[in-house]
Chain A
Amino acid sequence: MGAGARWRHPLVWAWAATVLVFMYVPALCLLLASLTSSRYFIFPITKWGVAWWEKTFDSLEIHALFRTSISVALCLTVVAVVIAFCGALAFARYQWRGRTLFQRLVLLPIFFPQSVLGLALLLWFSALGLDLSWRTAVFAHLVWIAPVVTLVIAIQVYSFDPALEEAAFDLGASRWQVFREVTLPVLFPGVFSGALFAFLLSWGNFPLSLFSTGADTTIPEYLYAKMVAGYTPGVPVLGTVSTVGAAVLLLVGYLLIRLGRRSRRDDAVERT
C-alpha cells in the first residue's frame, strides 16, 4: 500500500473532518448567536433576524472601538516589523559575541504570562507618569509581539544565502543597493508574514490591552466587558466581524503573496 492509498483511507478523512468540526463549529455558533432578534442568548434560536447587526453597525461606540483597535494594530505593525527585521538579522544572519544570549532574551517575553506582563507594564507606565491611551497599548503589545515577529522573520533569514549579498556587492552594488535589490526582496515574504502576524496578534490581544489602554477600549476589551456584564447579541455580531475580518486579512495576504510572485514573472515575460 503506497502513501497515496494511505491518504485516501476513509478513517483519515473522518479524523480530519472531526478536527475541523471541533475547530470551526464554535466560530459558526458565534455567527448563529448573532442572527437572533431576541434580546437574550437562547439556544436553539427561536426568532431569526439581523436587527442586531444593523444596531451594531450604526453604533458610534462600535465605530470608536474599530478606530482604536485599528490604530493600535497598524502602528504596532509598522514599529514591530522595523524592530523585528533588524532583530531577525541579528538573530539569524550575523555571527557576533552575545548572539546566543540575545536569542534567549528575545524569546523570553513570548513565554511570560501576558496578564502578568500587562500588570508589570502598567506599573512602569504609572511610575514614569505616562497617561494611558491606545498609544501606551502600542508599546505594551510591542513587548510581546516584536519577539514573535522577530522569530517569524528569522525563519526566512535562516534560509537566506549570505553569498547573495556578496554577489550583488561584487557586481558593483553599493551597500544600500544590495539591501534594496537583494536582501529586502528576498526576505520580503518573511517580512510580509511578520506584518500579518503583528497585525492579527494585536487585533485579538486582550490581556495586554486590558492594562494599557486606559480610557480607550479595543474590540476584545469591549467584548469581555459586555460578556461579564450587559450581554446583548451585539457581542456575537462584533465577535463574528472581528474573526471574519482577521480571516479575510489572512486570505488577502496569502493571495497578495501569490499574486506578487506571478506578476513578477509576467512582467519579466512581457519584457521578452
Chain B
Amino acid sequence: MSQTHILRLDSVVKRFGGLTAVNGVSLAIAEGEFFTIVGPSGSGKTTLLRMLAGMDTPSSGDILLRGERINDMPANQRPTCMVFQSLALFPHRTVGQNIEFALKIRGVDAATRKARALELMAQLRLPADYYGKSVTKCSGGERQRVALARSLAYDPAILFFDEPLSAIDYKLRKTLEKELKDIHRETGKTFVYITHSLEEAMVMSDRIGVMCAGEMVQVGTPDEIYTAPRTRFVSEFMGDVNVVPVRLGPDGRLHSDDPPSVFKAPTLPEGFARGHLVVRPESMRFVERAEQADNHVAGRLYNEYALGSRIQYQVRVGERVFIVERLRQQAFAGRLDDAVLIGWDAANSLVVGD
C-alpha cells in the first residue's frame, strides 16, 4: 500500500513564534492523484503547501516522498514544482523563455528546449506564435497556461498549485478548472491543489482534505465530503446549509431549543449525544400539511434570491433563518411575509459534531 503513496505526511507541525500554523497534519497522497486542500484564509493550507514544496521546513513531523524523508531538502532539489498564486512569471522574459527556464538551468541545448516549449504550448492550447511574445502582454488565461507549461517543462513528480485561479473571473475560472482536470488526466502526474473554494475543489479533485485552524478536519472524496461532512465546519464550508443545534432525547428523537421542537433523527453515529442537525437547502421543501414530511417547522417567507438555475428562499422561524432551494422551473408561488410550513425527511438530514 505504501508503495503507491507518492507523498506522506506524518504529524507535520509548523510554528511561527507563538503561532501554530499547521498542527499535526498526517496524510497520504496516492501516485497520480488530484488532491485538493481546502480551507478558509488562515487555516494553514498555504503553509502546508510551502512545506511540501520545500519553501518552509516543518517544526516537527516528517514529509516523505516515495518513502524518502525530504523535510530539509531545498525546493530546487525536490522533484516537485509549484504554480504560484501570483503565477510569478518572469516579467523580463518571453513566453518561450519562461517555459524553457527549468531546461535552461539543466543545460539543455536551445533547439531541444524550443521543441519542448512548443510541444507544451500546443498541449496547453497556446498559439505557437506566442513563443516570442512578452509575458506581460498575455491575458489572464494565457498567463495561467504559461505558468502551467513552465512547471510541466520541469517534468515534476508532483505539481503543487497555490490558488492560481483565485484572481480570475468566474467564467474563465470555470473553463480553466476543467482544462486543469484534463491536463491532470493527460499527464498522469500527481496534483496537489489548494483553494478556499470547495466548489472549485469539487469540480477537479479525486480527494479533498478540509483544513481548519491548522488541522486537517476531514479527508475524503468530493462525494463523501458533500454527503457526509463530519463536523459543523465542514458542512457549512460546503455553502449555505441549515444547521440546528440538537441533543438526543431518551425517546431516540432529536430535541432542539431554537426552534423549540423535536425532530425525527436520521441514522445516528455511535455514541451521539449532542451536536448539530444539518439539512441541505435542496432537501428542504415547502409543505401544505405537517404529515407530508418527517419533520417540519412553521415560519414566514422572508426573502428570495435568484441563483441562476435555482431560487433560494429564506424562511424566518423565530430568530433563526432556514433556507430552502428549488429549481427555477418549480418556483414557489408564496408571497413575502406569508406564513409557510417547511419540512424535510429524516433520511435527507444528518448529524455532525462541532
A residues lining the B interface (CB < 8 Å): 161, 163-164, 166-174, 177, 181-182, 185-186, 188, 264-265, 268-272
> Does B332 interact with chain A (Cβ within 8 Å)?
no
Instruction: Write out the residue numbers on chain A whose beta carbons fall within 8 Å of the beta carbon of B88.
Output: 161, 163-164, 166-167
Q: Is A161 touching B76 in the complex (CB atoms < 8 A)?
A: no
What is the bound-complex CA distance between A177 and B74, given in angstroms? 15
Q: Is B132 touching A172 in the complex (CB atoms < 8 A)?
A: no
> Does B150 interact with chain A (Cβ within 8 Å)?
yes
Q: Which 10 A-B pairs have the closest CB atoms?
A: A167-B88, A163-B88, A268-B94, A269-B132, A268-B132, A171-B102, A272-B132, A170-B75, A163-B84, A172-B105
Indicate the size class of the contact surface on chain B: 20 to 34
Instruction: Write out the residue numbers on chain B whose beta carbons fall within 8 Å of the beta carbon of A173.
Output: 76, 101, 105
Instruction: Write out the residue numbers on chain A whose beta carbons fall within 8 Å of the beta carbon of B101.
Output: 168, 171, 173, 181
| Extra 18 A-B pairs, beta carbons < 8 Å, given A170-B53, A177-B105, A182-B90 | A164-B91, A166-B75, A166-B82, A168-B101, A169-B75, A169-B76, A170-B76, A170-B80, A171-B151, A172-B102, A172-B106, A181-B105, A186-B92, A265-B94, A268-B134, A269-B132, A270-B132, A271-B131
What is the bound-complex CA distance between A172 and B151, given in angstroms? 11
Q: Is B96 touching A268 in the complex (CB atoms < 8 A)?
A: yes
Measured CB to CB, the closest approach of chain A to B52, in angstroms, equals: 11
> Does B154 interact with chain A (Cβ within 8 Å)?
yes
Q: Is A171 touching B105 in the complex (CB atoms < 8 A)?
A: yes
Give the dominant DSSP class at B's interface: mixed
> Does B114 interact with chain A (Cβ within 8 Å)?
yes
Give the dominant DSSP class at A's interface: helix
> Does B234 interact with chain A (Cβ within 8 Å)?
no
Q: Is A172 touching B154 in the complex (CB atoms < 8 A)?
A: yes
From the candidates A168, A182, A265, A271, name the one contacting B134 in the complex (CB within 8 A).
A265
> Does B55 interact with chain A (Cβ within 8 Å)?
yes
Measured CB to CB, the closest approach of chain A to B75, in angstroms, equals: 5
Selected A-B contacts with CB under 8 Å, 15 pairs: A161-B88, A166-B84, A167-B90, A169-B74, A170-B53, A170-B54, A170-B75, A170-B80, A171-B102, A172-B76, A172-B105, A173-B76, A265-B94, A268-B131, A270-B132
Measured CB to CB, the closest approach of chain B to A172, in angstroms, equals: 5
User: Which residue of chain A has the shortest Cβ distance to B134 in the bound complex?
Assistant: A265
Q: Is B86 touching A163 in the complex (CB atoms < 8 A)?
A: yes
> Does B97 interact with chain A (Cβ within 8 Å)?
yes
Given A265-B134, A268-B97, A170:B81 Cβ within 8 A: yes
